[in-house]
Chain A
Amino acid sequence: AQSVAQPEDQVNVAEGNPLTVKCTYSVSGNPYLFWYVQYPNRGLQFLLKYITGDNLVKGSYGFEAEFNKSQTSFHLKKPSALVSDSALYFCAVRDRWSDYKLSFGAGTTVTVRA
Chain B
Amino acid sequence: NAGVTQTPKFRVLKTGQSMTLLCAQDMNHEYMYWYRQDPGMGLRLIHYSVGEGTTAKGEVPDGYNVSRLKKQNFLLGLESAAPSQTSVYFCASSYPGWRSNQPQHFGDGTRLSIL
Contacts and interface: CB of A to CB of B under 8 A. Distances in A.
Interface of A: 4, 9, 32, 34, 36, 41-46, 49, 51, 90, 94, 96, 98-102, 104-107
Given A42-B108, A43-B107, A90-B42, 13 more contacts: A9-B40, A32-B101, A36-B103, A41-B108, A44-B43, A44-B90, A44-B92, A44-B106, A45-B106, A49-B101, A90-B43, A98-B100, A106-B41
B74 interface: no
Taking each of B4, B33, B42, which has the highest tally of chain A beta carbons within 10 Å of its own beta carbon?
Answer: B42
Contact of B43 (A32, A49, A104): A104
29 contacts: A32-B100, A32-B101, A41-B108, A41-B109, A42-B109, A43-B107, A43-B108, A43-B109, A44-B43, A44-B92, A45-B106, A46-B103, A46-B104, A46-B105, A49-B101, A49-B103, A51-B101, A90-B42, A94-B100, A96-B100, A99-B97, A99-B100, A100-B33, A100-B48, A100-B100, A101-B45, A102-B104, A104-B42, A107-B40
B50 interface: yes
Contacts of B42: 4, 90, 104-107
Contacts, number: 54
A65 B92 CA distance: 23
A45 B42 CA distance: 14
A58 to B, nearest CB: 15
Which of B31, B42, B103, B108 has the most chain A CB within a 10 Å cutoff? B103
Interface string B32-57: 01000000111101001010000000
Contact of B4 (A43, A46, A104): A43
Interface of B: 4, 31, 33, 40-43, 45, 48, 50, 90, 92, 97, 100-101, 103-109
A94 B45 CA distance: 13
Contacts of A45: 106
A58 B101 CA distance: 16
B43 A43 contact: no
Contacts of A99: 50, 97, 100
Contacts of B4: 43
